[in-house]
Structure 1
Amino acid sequence: MLLGGGILAVLLVTVLSLCLGNVHFTPGELFGILQGSEGNVNRSILLYARLPRTFASLLAGAALAVSGAVLQNVLANRLASPGVIGVNAGAGLGVTLCGAGGILSGYAVSLSAFAGSLVSIFLIFLFSRRMNASKTTVILSGVALNSILNAICESVTVLDTDLAMLSIDFRVGGFSAVSFTRLFPAAVLISLALSGLFSLCNELDIVTLGDETAQGVGLAVGRYRMIFLVLAALLAGAAVSFSGLLGFVGLIVPHFVRRFTGNESGRLLPLCALSGAAFVTFCDLAARLLFLPYELPVGILMSVVGGPVFLVLLVRYRGGLG
């Protein structure tokens, strides 16, 4: 029932995203445009603006939500998420360095974002393991790493004025400039990472139980933990490569989904993917419609929503599982 409800929510918000904007379509007109019976202007709006934007928001939401759920399980900290512990900032640094080198699209951008997010994850993971840090300390160290990486990005853009103009939308986060050319490489990587995680749900549940329990049932904990961290970094990095620095998706959605599914990964991860896709697409739609004819970057709207939620969760869990 939950999975069916999630699929219906995604379909509904997808149709609304395709139909609504500065130019509105009815569902009948939408079907006519797809068949080629409507005018060229409407067809161009749908094919070159609405479709890539909607697919981008669906992919980014699914990737960031699942990445957040995996990080929370592997790090045993429900306040962990790509936006909070510096994973998105690491991916942003990778994209910024690519832009400084004149590369603005393709697999190089997605892989650079993945590399940056992977480095951020392993820095946090190694710090927590070597220092035996508390869950609160892990979050605070992630916030510090986030600030450092953002400062490096700002330094690069200050030194390169052309890149500064291109990176304004990226730092805020949004889908207004997304095209299928930019989206396709990241979509391939996200699909591969999601497929890998969905096939390893049982192993993720065992890793979540702790090292001693996992080793007791014969699971190679270190190897699987690394696999999960790499896949989480791949999801976050690929999403950031075309969506920019969207925050709080990986924090809000897993908490919402856990209320209905519990911690079992076989239910949690698929529903996180659907809920994240619907949530980000709905926020992008709201950002388009609230101030017509002007458009609010979706990253601003999500920060306004996510900031208070993070504070509530911080009080509830006090940096731990609660």
Structure 2
Amino acid sequence: MTASARVSQARLRAVPLAVALVLLAGTLLGGVLVGAAGLPAGGVLRALADRVPFVHVDSGLGAVGENVLFQLRVPRALMAALVGGMLALAGAGYQGVFRNPLADPYLLGAAAGAGVGATLTIVLMPGDPGYVVPVAAFAGAICGVLLAYVLGSAAGRGGGAATLVLAGVAVSSFLAAVQTFLQQVKAEELQRIYSWILGGVGSADWRQLALVAPYALVSTAVLLAHGRLLDVLSVGDEEAASLGLSAARVRLVVLVAASLATACAVAVSGLIGFVGIVVPHAVRRLAGGSYRIVLPLSLLGGAAFLELADLVARTVIAPAELPLGVVTAFVGGPFFVAVLRASRRQVDT
């Protein structure tokens, strides 16, 4: 590839990235400005500006308004962006590994494992102070994926893609049965369990952000670094091997990083579906299929998408809130059907 061609290709990637950044900035600002407390937009903007180094502005919000903004709205907005970005990035990683646009972050049992971990904690610790459930959900998600990978590796050489998917389905079904049993044992906690299952970021705080941020950063760095390798892997394992690439190693590293991203998202938000399918698929439609652009755009697009969904969740029936998972399902359900129909037309032709 000539130098001019590389420059042209870099410019083509820069345009959608810039658009995605602007979209994310806009939705983040909306997440901070909108809320039940009715803070004035000018005061919110001045308070945010006052936090910029070497800038001193009187927001006029008062102590209560400042607390609402920086202890409730800002952590919630950042958490929605983090969770959406992680789910979309993980979904793109899974789709690259399995070469299937319908693969999602919960494919290998992360959701079911997180559900068991959270449900078990809610059942055994009804007075949980608020930080044990995320830790238990994170551990459960990791254990679910590990169990699926161990079973898949034991059943087939190298843990092939199809074998891993079947192992993930089996593990998810088993863990879902365990979760249902735990719910029936402690029926009085059903409302709290279902509230977690339906997903949301309303309880987000700085402590939760600090809890998951290191895992999110590591998984993001690893996945973004494997964009070119996923492009090579997309041509097939044999072709990749002829180019000196170990398909099994790339698959394992990407699966571990994507599962880590999924686990840290599910731990603090509950089960929010369709983000990992809708966003990467939309990115491919708009910007092409190269994972060097699909992965970063999925990260930014997923963050903006869930930020917007959270805005809808807390305004459409205000002062009450819809579960965030319900909002994404309203969007993702029809989108999933459209993807299925498009895939079927491609097979028929």
| TM-score with structure 1 setting the length | 0.87
Q: Structure 1 residues 147, 193: closer, same or farther in 2, change over 3 A?
A: same
Residue from 75, 89, 96 that aligns with 2:119: 96
Change (3 A) 1:62 1:267: same
The corresponding residue for 1:206 is: 232
Q: Once the two structures are superposed, what CA deviation does each residue of 1:44-75 show, in whole Å capped at 9, x if it has no partner?
A: 21122111111110000000001111111101
Cα separation, 2, equivalents of 1:278 and 1:159: 39
- Whether the 8 Å contact between 1:110 and 1:186 is mirrored in structure 2 is no
Q: Which shows bigger deviation, 232-241 or 205-214?
A: 205-214
State the partner residue of 1:302. 328
Q: For residues 249-278 of structure 1, give each alpha carbon's deviation from its aligned partner in whole angstroms, at most 9, with x where no partner exists.
A: 000001100012222111111110010000
Q: 1: CA distance between counterparts of 2:321 and 2:219?
A: 32
Give 1:246 deviation, angstroms: 0.2
Q: Deviations over 1:172-214 (max 9, x none)?
A: 1111122222232212101110011112222222222211011
- Distance in 2, Cα, partners of 1:105 & 1:278: 26
Q: Given the superposition, is the C-alpha separation of residues 162 and 50 from structure 1 closer, same or farther in structure 2, using an over 3 Å criterion?
A: farther
* CA spacing shift, 1:264–1:245, aligned 2, 3 Å: same
Distance 1:123-1:65 versus aligned 2 partners, 3 A rule = farther
The equivalent residue for 1:252 is 278
182-191 or 239-248, larger mean C-alpha shift? 182-191
1:12 aligns with 2:26: yes
Instruction: Give the SS at the match of 2:66.
Output: helix
- Pick the aligned partner of 2:193 from 164, 167, 173: 167
What's 2:248 paired with?
222
Matches within 5 A, 1:140-219: 146-160=172-186, 164-219=190-245
Tell whether the 8 Å contact from 1:85 to 1:124 is kept in structure 2 after alignment.
Answer: no
For structure 1, the 5+ residue unaligned runs are none
Contact 1:254 1:272 in 2 (8 A): yes
Distance in 1, Cα, partners of 2:145 & 2:314: 32
The answer to whether 1:24 aligns with 2:8 is no
- Shift of residue 248, structure 1, vs aligned partner: 0.4
When structure 1 is superposed on structure 2, of 88-97 and 8-17 the one drifting more is 88-97
Task: Give TM-score, length-normalised by structure 2.
Answer: 0.81
Distance 1:302 1:140, change over 3 A: farther
1:87 is displaced (CA, Å) by 3.2
Q: Which moved more, 1:233-242 or 1:99-108?
A: 99-108
Change (3 A) 1:237 1:177: same
Instruction: State the distance in 1 between where 2:165 and 2:273 align.
Output: 15
How much has 1:105 moved relative to structure 2? Answer: 2.3
Unmatched 5+ residue regions in structure 2?
Answer: 1-14, 51-58
Tell me which residue corresponds to 1:2. 16
Partner of 2:12: none
Structure 1 residue 161: deviation in Å? 5.2
Asked which structure has the greater RCO (Cα within 8 Å, sep 6+), the reply is 1
Distance 1:246 1:124, change over 3 A: farther
Q: How does 1:35-54 map to 2 (within 5 A)?
A: 35=50, 37-54=60-77
Q: AA paired with 2:28?
A: T
Superposition deviation, residue 315 in structure 1: 2.6
Q: How many residues align?
A: 321
Amino acid at match of 1:216: S
Once the two structures are superposed, the pairs formed by residues 279-298 of structure 1 within 5 Å of their partners are 279-298=305-324
**AA in 1 matched with 2:317:** F
Of 118-127 and 75-84, deviating more is 118-127
Identity of aligned residues (%): 31
Q: Is the 8 A contact 1:63 1:190 kept in 2?
A: yes
Q: Which runs of 4+ in 1 moved over 6 A?
A: 132-135, 137-141, 319-322
How far, CA to CA, are the matches of 1:41 and 1:142 in structure 2?
47
Task: Confirm or deny: 8 A CA contact 1:173 1:243 kept in the other structure.
Answer: yes
